[in-house]
Amino acid sequence: NAGVTQTPKFQVLKTGQSMTLQCAQDMNHNSMYWYRQDPGMGLRLIYYSASEGTTDKGEVPNGYNVSRLNKREFSLRLESAAPSQTSVYFCASSGLDRGQETQYFGPGTRLLVL
Amino acid sequence: AQSVTQPDIHITVSEGASLELRCNYSYGATPYLFWYVQSPGQGLQLLLKYFSGDTLVQGIKGFEAEFKRSQSSFNLRKPSVHWSDAAEYFCAVKRSNFGNEKLTFGTGTRLTIIP
């Protein structure tokens, strides 16, 4: 049981390049999330998916797209990377833990946009 | 909308000393509250959570937190810290137990342990 996994762990892009961050969970959770973490700002929600086939915007969706490929996988795409998207990206999934809806996080992807 | 404030950006304590990290939330009804820990270069690990019932909740690694409705607080405590507790700690709140309800995070408190 790996929990939430993310690939890649680290990526360097040039401005204007595109890339997709991958996330998968093996806990049979319905809901999945993408956050970004920047110094002094905590974690901010980019997009989330309450169930397979649905996605919704969070606080900071501009410049990103997502795909909920199936129940396990939720990818985040940067179509044209900008230096402002340099950040650490975390994927999370949530499910019931003793009747309590709880989020579990992946190890993160560190992205540097030059 | 709910919000979370962690007033201390950085705290330094000696190994073996007690610890209290502060968290205040803003939400009209009873919130669902969480503490997560992030070790350097790692993801977030759940320490403990409060949903209802006993206002003093026990978590992993010897941590506990107390929900005080009158003070809108959910402070994290540990009686004796270890060097391995050096990390960043995040308080988070959500409004309901629904799966599509998002978490709102505080800006974090970085904990340094000195010998």
What are the tens digits of pLDDT across the range B64-98? 999 999 999 999 999 999 999 999 999 999 887 77
The pLDDT, as a whole number, for residue A9 is 94
Average pLDDT, chain A: 93
pLDDT tops 70 at residue B99: no
As a whole-number percent, the residues of chain B with pLDDT over 90 amount to 72
Reading the block at residue B65, the tokens are 């937190």
DSSP for residue B101: P
Which residue among B46, B100, B105 sits closest to A43, beta carbon to beta carbon?
B105
How far is residue B70's CA from residue B88's CA, in Å, rounded to a whole number? 27
What is the DSSP secondary structure assignment for residue A40, as one 8-state letter?
A: T
Q: What angle do CA B28, B30, B36 make, to 5 degrees?
A: 110
Which chain A residue shows the shortest CA-CA distance from B91? Answer: A42
A106 contact residues in B (CB cutoff 8 A): 43
- Number of Cβ within 10 Å of residue A69's Cβ equals 13
- Report the alpha-carbon distance of residue B39 to residue B113 in Å, rounded: 13
Residue A10 burial class via C-beta count within 10 angstroms: exposed 0-12, middle 13-18, buried 19 and up: exposed
Q: Which of A40, A50, A105 sits opposite B44 (nearest CB)?
A: A105
Residue of A nearest to B37 (CA): A105
Residues A80 and A50 sit within 8 Å (Cβ to Cβ): no
Higher-confidence position of A1 and B94: B94
Nearest CB neighbour to B102, from listed A42, A58, A99: A58
- What's the token pair of residue B19? 């610890």
A90, β-bridge pairs:
A35
Q: How far apart are CA B115 and CA B113, in angstroms?
A: 7
Is the minimum CB–CB distance between B95 and chain A shorter than 8 Å?
no
Q: Where does the pLDDT of residue A75 fall: very low under 50, low under 70, confident under 90, or very high at 90 and above?
A: very high
Angle (nearest 5°) at CA A102 between A73 and A54 = 40
pLDDT of B96 reads 76
Cβ neighbour number for residue B26 with a 10 Å cutoff: 13
